[in-house]
Structure 1
Amino acid sequence: MTTSSPDISPPPLPEEGLDVWFVGNRSALFWLALKSGFWTVLSLGFYRFWMKTRLRRWYWSAIRPGGHPLEYVGDPWEKLLGFFIAVVILTFYIGIVNLLLMFVSFSLFQNSVVGYFGSFIGVIPIWFYAQYRARRYVLARTRWRGVRFGLEAGAWGYAWRALVHWLITICSLGVLWPRMTFWLEKYKTDRTFFGSAKLVQGGRWIMLYRATVPFLVALLLTVGLVCWLVWLDPLIPDSATPFEDIVNGFDDPEAFGYAIFGWQGIWRLLLLAPAGLGLIYGAVHYRFVSKRILADHKFSAGVQMRSNLNGLRISVIYVLGSIIAYSILVIGIFAIVAVAFGLLGSGVFLEAQLGTAEPLAGLPRWLSIGTVAIFYLGMFLFWGVLHHVFVTYPLMRHMAVTLSLLNVVGLTQISQRARDEFAEAEGFSEALDLGAAI
Structure 2
Amino acid sequence: MSTSTLSTPVASKSVLVKYKRLDKEARSPLFGVLDKFSIAEQVEVRRNSRQLPQLLMATWRETYTCLDFEEFHKQLVGEALQQFLRKMRRHFSSVRFNSDQLQEQLNLLERCGINELPGVRECEILWDSSKGDNCAMWPLHSLPKLLTRLHCLQLHMPVQMGFVEQFGQLKLLTLHEAVSPEAYAAIWDSCERLKCLKILGRGKADITGICKCTKLQELTLPVTAIDVSTATEICRLPQLKFLELQQKEANAETTLVAMSLILCCRANDIKTMQINGSHLGTAEWLLSLELQRCMRLDGLMLIDCQFGAMDVTTLCMLPMLSYAAFCHCSNLSNEQVAAFVNACPVLTQLYLIGCPQLTIQLLYSLFNMRCIEQLGTPALGLYLPEGEPLLEEFKLNFSKQQTLELLETPLEDSHVQHVQFIFLQPESRQQ
Please state which band the TM-score falls in when normalised by the shorter chain: under 0.3
Structure 2 length-normalised TM: 0.19
Q: Name the one with the larger helix percent.
A: 1
Greater Rg over alpha carbons, structure = 2
